[in-house]
Amino acid sequence: MDLLPAVNSQIAKKHGFRSLKLVSVDMDHVLAEQPFGVQYGRLDNGLYYYVRSNSKPRMRAALSLAVKAGSVLEEEDERGVAHIVEHLAFSATKKYSNHDIIKFLESIGAEFGACQNAVTSADDTVYELFVPVDKPELLSQAISVLAEFSSEVRVSKDDLEKERGAVMEEYRGSRNAAGRMQDAHWVLMMEGSQYAERLPIGLEKVIRTVSHETVKQFYRKWYHLSNMAVIAVGDFSDTQSVVELIKTHFGQKSSAPEPPLIRKFTVPSHEEPRFSCFVESEAAGSAVMISYKMQADQLKTVKDYRDLLAESMFLYALNQRFFKISRRTDPPYFSCSAAADVLVHPLKAYIMTSSCKEKGTIEALESMLFEVARVRQHGFSEREISIVRALLMSEIESAYLERDQMQSTSLRDEYLQHFLRNEPVVGIEYEAQLQKTLLPNITALEVSKYSEKLRTSCSCVIKTIEPRASATVDDLKNVVLRINNLEEERNISPWDDENIPEEIVSTKPNLGNIVQQFEYPNVGATELILSNGMRVCYKCTDFLDDQLIFTGFSYGGLSELLESEYFSCSMGPTIAGEIGVFGYRPSVLMDMLAGKRAEVGVNLGAYMRSFSGDCSPSDLETALQLVYQLFTTNVTPGEEDVKIVMQMAEEAVRAQERDPYTAFANRVKELNYGNSYFFKPIKLSDLRKVDPLRACEYFNKCFKDPSTFTVVIVGNIVPTIALPLILQYLGGIPRPPEPIMHFNRDDLKGLPFTFPSTIIREVVRSPMVEAQCSVQLCFPVELKNGTMVEEIHFVGFLSKLLETKLMQVLRFKHGQIYSAGVSVFLGGNKPSRTGNVRGDISINFSCDPAISSKLADLALDEILILQEEGPSDEDVSTILEIEQRAHENGLQENYYWLDRILRSYQSRMYSGDVGISFEIIDDGRSKVKTSLTPQTAKLALQRILPYPCKKQYTAVILMPQTSRFKLLKSFFRSTQTSYRTDAKILAGIAGMAVIALSLWRYSRSTLKS
């Protein structure tokens, strides 16, 4: 076998970037106003259009209607109306009524929520469709829907009343802890401007009482064609025919002779910083947010573009420092990051956010301000900037290599920003040339100067968030004063760079060899058995030129452990990850990987251990070196490493104990899966019993024996380049003298859980700042071994059917929910090739607490009707279309293929030939698709769910805690259902998430609760 590298298209493309000519730049050169690569124009009625042909994905189109009208234009009695108009657009128009638009989209495979979306922000409203175009009439129909949105939304009294419940439920969902914190920060940031009083979600009073005349007046005034644009990017044979469709559907429409004057609202600047100590009893943790506001600059010239690059380098370099500080002994915060964003049209902000231990906000704030002051005094080092430069160069190189494989949705979003923000679209080729030319000449001094914009005198807003008050405004002011004095006295020490090793693998391992090789034409894959026993399967694709992904798995996981060891060993990945599972501390490895696109992560599950990676083909060697290091590194816990991990874990547990939803989730688990230690929440008392040494010992054993692992690699693989690397770093992993964690999949210990055999209805009452309510219905599922493959496919189809029908009943008919989700759990069973598969199907939605029980009954009624009468032909057709479209999209994605091949190896049908199990699974899908009719769907619902469904299920409802007096009255009134309130607190280990500032946008995407 010839394993020597040969000249190929991948290398040619790589050289294509590296030999890309630099451009001669004039800093005052104005970037092209005409967007690149698109047919761009304007109709006589004022509507702008953008049309571009793009074949990723094939036979699909990404469409948008952008309207320069958002919540900031609302009058006081209209607060929330811009968002209500967006809802009504999908409810009823002149041509479509009773949510016919949603029915049409679902009938062509464009799911409501997942592929159809709308967003209302302070400044604009955007409607988005993602539709198939393999039939000529579909594109025309989709564009006609956007045309209806532009001027034909029907705003009748009945339409509004039907939609109020859904809007109100979305409002209620935004009033959780995260929503309250975001809203409060938004008001603080925008103080003194119209934006502060115009959150897109609006006011509850307006949502409940606004008249249809007021809504109609807003729509007719601000939805003017001259303030709109249609964007169409997709797999079109020619763009002119799409332009003609736009003219057909929009050309005859007209607006008022004079477009309304859209006021520009300013946000006042302030020299004195603003301070706030926000106490949120349900907060997920303590946090600090520092924002620096400024006017948003227009990107017009090459100099503006260069400044944008320098700003990006500054933020990257600052974030690198924040990360390294967070990994130090006794760090001031668990995580910290800085970003820049345009919040509203005239306003941009640098935002620094950290999460920290309870009562640690003052220390975190001081560290954040100190680091920025250190940059002002000493600057970044040349080494820091060279690392950031390499990182940015790697990113633009990847974008350039995949310039012909960009998703249509990404291109559509670029043109949206061109219309809404006047951002130039110059094309990736020119951007790559600009960055190659400009990046090497941006100095550390230039980058460091951006720290001047992060002074507390620059419209600064400082806010702490705590579950219990500890910091005061005076404390915050004293920190600012202290850092300012240190800076004035020039009493800040320089940054101390860490010593970074040159090579990940210092000594190359001995080359392995191929013992056996198999070809599987039906999968398009090759399988290798290596000399150390590792099985490697690779599939070459051309979906993305700069992507390779892989997963390796081995049977035997946490289910094999004794209960006494479970909590310690389950903490293994967390403790080992803090120390460094690849032989280097995370802060050191970050610098070692600068300029490379390679990452590897690990996971310990109930029945499997696995590692997964994502890399550029040119960085495959680096990614495989990380895998080699994973298998050859022995992680030993240090006292400080363990201390940091346990601190973070304890904060996460305390945070989740405050969250009402975790009490709810815990009770659902307890009812459905029993009191098994595997499903129990981790408590503080459990954390204190964790043995770090045992945790690391177990982790080391999990990734030690290569002979137990199967690795699947998918992407732009060139075998002549990849095979020597696979043999070197995977084949070179030493096989231990005796097998380690070598398990037979049929002999694994199963997780002990038993679904209740009767009906259980229970209310979990939890203290809440504002009333929230969530409903979960759960049904046991048992799939018979003989027909397992088909039954699993049936479960997939039926879960989508249930989700669609429940949305029709609870959302579109009764108007009482915003979204419904259906989830399937079959993961509790050991991967044995014998025996039945047990699990459950769960239905989730949020609603008004007062009607939660009624809606749960309506959901049960609808499922029973489906079991007894079956779905309609139209329902079945819709589900089949949605599944087929998702499958077609997936066939063009590396991750979809990786998942299919992994499932084939892990299938019960696998007995050594992955091609056969792949074919059996594929045939199972085809059989179910072919056989799916209203009758077979009805029988499957009877067979897979308890029949009738009302004979065995759990219904758990999260409700706000009421007073003892109210509970007593409720008890005496209740004659049908017994409610228990002995809910336990769910406390799982979770990463401390930084609070996102996406508060100014409210998406209509389906929420999967």
Residues labelled catalytic: 86, 163
d(CA 900, CA 523): 9
Backbone φ and ψ for 517, nearest 5 degrees, come out as -140, 135
What is the residue whose two structure tokens read 């979306």? 117
Backbone φ and ψ for 330, nearest 5 degrees, come out as 50, 60
Give the burial string for 194-213 (b: 16+ CB within 10 Å, else e): bbeebbbbbbeebbeebebe
Of 479, 484, 457, the closest CA to residue 270 belongs to 457
Element (H, E) at 856: helix 852-869
d(CA 952, CA 758): 5
Backbone φ and ψ for 891, nearest 5 degrees, come out as -60, -15
First to last CA, the chain: 52
Write down the H helix ranges in 190-301. Answer: 204-209, 212-222, 239-250
**Pair 361, 352: CB distance under 8 Å:** no
> 172: which residues sit within 8 A by CB, 6+ positions away?
770, 771, 772, 773, 846, 848
What is the residue whose two structure tokens read 């130039």? 424
**Pair 171, 201: CB distance under 8 Å:** yes
Give the 3-state DSSP-derived string for 521-554, with helices as H, strands as E and coil as C.
Answer: CCCCEEEEEECCCCEEEEEECCCCCCCEEEEEEE
**Pair 123, 345: CB distance under 8 Å:** yes
The token pair that represents 322 in the structure block: 């924040």
**Pair 602, 573: CB distance under 8 Å:** yes
DSSP code for 665: H
Of 534, 1009, 906, the closest CA to residue 733 belongs to 534
d(CA 607, CA 603): 11
Give the 3-state DSSP-derived string for 385-449, with helices as H, strands as E and coil as C.
Answer: HHHHHHHHHHHHHHHHHCCCCCCHHHHHHHHHHHHHHCCCCCCHHHHHHHHHHHHHHCCHHHHHH
d(CA 171, CA 818): 10
Of 447, 460, 403, 481, the closest CA to residue 189 belongs to 460
Count of CB atoms within 10 A of residue 256's CB?
11
Backbone φ and ψ for 1002, nearest 5 degrees, come out as -125, 110
Count of CB atoms within 10 A of residue 102's CB?
22
Q: What is the CA radius of gyration of the chain?
A: 29
Give the burial string for 735-767 (b: 16+ CB within 10 Å, else e): beeeebbebebeebeebebebeeeebbbbbbbe
- 462: helix, coil or strand? strand
